[in-house]
Chain A
Amino acid sequence: MEKILELKNLKKHYPIYGGVFKKEINSVKALDGVDLDIYRGECLGVVGESGCGKTTTSKAIIKLHDPTSGEIIFHPKDHKDSYDIARMKPRHMKKNGLRSKLQMVFQDPTTSMNPRMLVKNIIAEPIIENTNIKGKALEDRVVELLEMVGLTRNHLYRYSHEFSGGQRQRIAVARALATNPEFLVLDEPTSALDVSVQAQILNLMDSLRKKLNLTYMFVTHHLLVVKYISTRIAVMYLGKIVEIAETEKLFENPVHPYTNALLSGIPSTDLDIEKKRIILKGDVPSPLNPPEGCRFHTRCPFAIELCKKKEPVLEDIGNHKVACHRKDEVQELISKKFA
């Protein structure tokens, strides 16, 4: 499979200033060495605890901030070369035509659109910025985009606040698609929407991906959503990726203890399905001072001495990649402990 993006040892530390002279006293290790390959045409789901760095990863990819260190290698479709965009200036990205290839749909459709702009201008803005389509052609393109996301020409001259949440998110999707991107970051695009609208947006996103051959990175808390839409899932914990696998494989056979806890906790409306829930105990560690060794050991039910000392690395075990010292025994341990 063809890679579209490669993250190599990506780090982002937010400095914390303190003291009289506002010196840097510590830093939030929001991302602490993330290695990730994203393949063209897939939908990579990213799940994990709140504050584990999902938004930070997506913002690094679309260049809303510069990472502290590491590489983000982008292989655009029609270019011969690939580019390391980790520290590229916005100006250069625009010049190379990379800016328009990486787009994002934000979580809250209400705040992600300028309340004083008409829908037409909201969608036209990226087109004007990145191409030189003008006048009638521009309007046609905007209408085409609107129709692509299930809205009509009648919606052109309205403000975003005149729409329902789901319609607003459709407009946001149309805007993100306006520049023919190859890669879309979707940071919890449905968490501000209710279930029936969520279903519409998910179906829309899924069909658009297939139609336009897009690649998604889908960040969410909702595991059933991610199961529905993603082809591959990465599980993050405290600034690191702890497990990556194809969706089916991950749900069938989760390996990392955190993934197991996560999947066992899915709230569901099927009240009759039997569930053995793994409730995690212990301190939730802080990204200010991440624990030594495996970052999950403070809450892991199966931690051993080794886990406190040595940090496990992401290893390939057939169709999974897992970072855990006890990856071979976890299943057994779970069935013993939570039977």
Chain B
Amino acid sequence: MKKIIETENLRTNFYTYEGVVKALNDVCITVNHGETFGLVGESGCGKSVTVRSMMRIIQSPGKVESGKVLLFLDENGEQEAVDLLQQSESYMQSCCGDQISMIFQEPNAALNPIMSIGEQVAESFLFHRKKSLSEASLERLNAQDCKVPFKGIFKNLYKKYHEDENAFVFKLLSHIPLLNRWDFLIRQEAFKRAVEIISKLGIPHAEDIAVQFPHNLSGGMKQRIVIAIALACSPMLLIADEATSNLDVTIQAQILELLKDLKKKHISSILLITHDLGVVAETCDRVGVMYAGSLCEVAESRELFGNPSHPYTKALLESVPKFHQEGALKTIEGNVPNLVTPPAGCRFHPRCKHRMDICDKEVPNLLEIGKNHSVACHLFGDK
């Protein structure tokens, strides 16, 4: 199985006024080529921090203390690992959106309130798809019925842009009022593509919606716009942090279907974070369960839901409302631990029904207990 991204012993802390929040404790996750990996766990267990650490967008006062994030790039058939934590800012910038793309958890925070929806989606094309945009614009200029004044000048400009987008002329032009609009055809083209992708996500009348502003849309529509931005450049790996939480099941099904579809065609892998275990069960190939900053169980989806092994996973599955629910829902006793002073040993031990003496002393390691099934629990220690 070819890997696409892998984290090794990722450790992230937040330095707050209450003390150091040890948000991640040696998280090792591997996402393979062509698979959908689901990451589940209680709120605050560090799912978002994990992916944010991977993308190096941890907000201060957070800091990735140690570990590696290996991105495997295909170089002429050879797999080459790049440690993203060692790369430069500009590398990350070109990598985000192009190879890896992320859907953020809060759609409100991810959208700019004073820019129209269409422009925001178009932005992504403008940044990563300069070449193909200028090509399309050139084609439009070359068409017979094209009525643009100074056609010749534009043709030359766009040709030049196609060849070398960092040329000095463009830097100069971008600073001169009015002249900085020289790329209007490119912008139009980007906008057109934006409308296309918006309509693909099941939003009716995409042309009308594209000129609206975020506050005019319902929660679910905003969510889909955020997804559109992430999908714009068909990335190699899509990280979706709670991408479908605000959508009703029919649209959710439609989007998950679309993701599956895209996965076949363009995107090779998806890292899906969600609260909805049902969605995970139905769409993910492999699932990782996190608790309080560490990974406690990783298994194939069928195996995990059929044969949950970690006590936390079991408890989590019991608290999901079932179709044939009888009696009150089971809940997990106790509270999520404060990560400033996490429990010693296994971080789940204060809430665990099967606690043993060793549990509050030693941190359990992630051990393989079956085919593609690893658990970090002392119950499985000696096997």
Contact = CB atoms under 8 A, between A and B. Distances in A.
Nearest to A165: B43
Interface residues of A, number: 56
Nearest to A258: B250
Interface string A255-293: 000100110011111110100010110011110110000
B316 to A, nearest CB: 6
A202 B329 contact: yes
A305 interface: no
Contacts of B219: 50, 55, 107
A228 interface: yes
A203 B329 contact: yes
B113 interface: no
A164 B202 CA distance: 34
A131 interface: no
B152 interface: no
Contacts of B204: 283-286
A225 B41 contact: no
A49 interface: yes
Contact of A267 (B223, B281, B331): B281
Interface in B295-333: 301-302, 305-306, 315-317, 319-323, 325, 328-332
B249 A267 contact: yes
Given A51-B221, A197-B43, A273-B323, A267 B248 contact: no
Contact of B278 (A228, A269, A288): A269
Contacts, number: 157
A133 B89 CA distance: 57
A199 interface: yes
A46 B22 CA distance: 40
A194 B331 contact: no
A233 to B, nearest CB: 13
B250 A196 contact: no
Contacts of A289: 205
B136 interface: no
Contacts of A167: 335
Contacts of B275: 193-195, 198
A206 B325 CA distance: 14
Contacts of A262: 248-250
A221 B43 contact: no
Interface in A234-269: 258, 261-262, 265-269
A267 B42 contact: no
A279 B220 CA distance: 19
A279 B277 contact: no
B220 A269 contact: no
A277 B44 CA distance: 33
A313 interface: no
A195 B276 CA distance: 7
Contacts of A223: 249
B331 A199 contact: yes
B379 interface: no
Interface residues of B, number: 57
A228 B43 contact: no
A107 B18 CA distance: 27
Interface in B322-366: 322-323, 325, 328-332, 335-336
A42 B336 CA distance: 32
A89 to B, nearest CB: 25
Contacts of B336: 164, 166
Nearest to B281: A269
A57 to B, nearest CB: 12
B323 A228 contact: no
Contacts of B247: 50, 221
Interface of B: 18, 41-44, 202-205, 208-209, 216-221, 223, 245-254, 257, 275-279, 281-283, 301-302, 305-306, 315-317, 319-323, 325, 328-332, 335-336
29 contacts: A16-B216, A48-B248, A50-B247, A50-B248, A51-B218, A51-B221, A55-B219, A164-B336, A165-B44, A167-B335, A194-B43, A195-B277, A196-B316, A202-B321, A221-B247, A223-B249, A224-B278, A224-B322, A228-B329, A262-B248, A265-B249, A266-B278, A268-B322, A269-B277, A269-B322, A273-B323, A280-B254, A286-B208, A289-B205
Minimum-distance CB pairs A-B, first 3 = A50-B220, A267-B278, A51-B218
Given A265-B249, A267-B281, A288-B205, 12 more contacts: A28-B216, A49-B251, A50-B248, A51-B220, A194-B41, A224-B322, A227-B321, A262-B250, A271-B306, A279-B257, A284-B202, A284-B204
Interface of A: 14, 16, 28, 47-51, 55, 107, 162, 164-167, 188, 191-200, 202-203, 206, 221-225, 227-228, 258, 261-262, 265-271, 273, 277, 279-280, 283-286, 288-289
